[in-house]
């Protein structure tokens, strides 16, 4: 099993627990706020989690929204999924926005997002005179239809 090293970066986050899986088959680690936070309608800001991580080389962290917060309150992650590179060692923060019509308050320790650890491949970029043909070819957004 892959190991994710976690370090508390503030005393305010040391009592909320480490990122953890909610169930045996959860794919995302729950991230919690390390302080009380309020988001007004239309407001967005970085929410601290109180910890930093060391992601193994060849992997990345993806911060994703929680579906329940989106459904119940209109809360989303602005740059979803947000990417954490394996060489980043600063505090993990979550960029949340309130798309809802009411102020949403998060108490210290509440779950605000999920962290997925994923393997990635680096590529070598080369200039090509032609690209392989496909059925879709250069069809853009919505080109494949809805059915």
Q: Is residue 38 part of a domain?
A: yes
pLDDT for the residue 138: 74
Stated pTM of the model: 0.86
Q: 135, 111, 136: which is closest to 21 by C-alpha?
A: 111
Q: 118, 99, 108, 115: which is closest to 47 by C-alpha?
A: 108
Q: Is residue 69 part of a domain?
A: yes
**Which CATH number is 16's domain given?**
2.70.40.10
Q: Is residue 125 part of a domain?
A: no
> Coil, helix or strand for 72?
helix
Structurally, the chain folds into a number of domains equal to 1
Q: Which domain holds residue 58?
A: 5-119
pLDDT for the residue 146: 67
> Coil, helix or strand for 114?
strand
Q: Is residue 67 part of a domain?
A: yes
pLDDT of the chain along its 147 residues, tens only? 899 999 999 776 678 888 999 999 999 999 999 999 999 999 999 999 999 999 999 999 999 999 999 999 999 999 989 999 999 999 999 999 999 999 999 999 999 999 999 999 999 999 999 989 888 777 776 666 666
pLDDT for the residue 13: 65
Q: Is residue 71 part of a domain?
A: yes
Q: Is residue 139 part of a domain?
A: no
Report the distance separating Cα 121 and Cα 142, nearest Å.
28
pLDDT for the residue 143: 67
Q: Is residue 44 part of a domain?
A: yes
> Taking a C-beta distance cutoff of 8 angstroms, is the pair 43, 136 a contact?
no
Q: Is residue 17 part of a domain?
A: yes
């Amino acid at each position: 099993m892959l190991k994710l090293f976690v370090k508390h970066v503030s005393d305010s986050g040391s009592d909320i627990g480490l990122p953890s899986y909610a169930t045996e088959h959860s794919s995302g680690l729950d991230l919690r706020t390390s302080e009380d936070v309020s988001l007004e309608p239309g407001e967005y800001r970085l929410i601290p989690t109180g910890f930093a991580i060391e992601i193994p080389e060849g992997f990345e962290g993806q911060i994703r929204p929680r579906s329940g917060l989106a459904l119940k309150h209109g809360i989303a992650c602005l740059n979803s999924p947000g990417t954490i590179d394996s060489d980043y060692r600063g505090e993990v923060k979550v960029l949340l926005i309130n798309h809802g019509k009411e102020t949403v308050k998060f108490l210290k320790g509440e779950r605000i997002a999920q962290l997925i650890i994923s393997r990635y491949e680096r590529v070598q970029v080369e200039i090509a005179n032609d690209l392989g043909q496909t059925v879709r070819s250069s069809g853009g957004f919505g080109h494949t239809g809805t059915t």
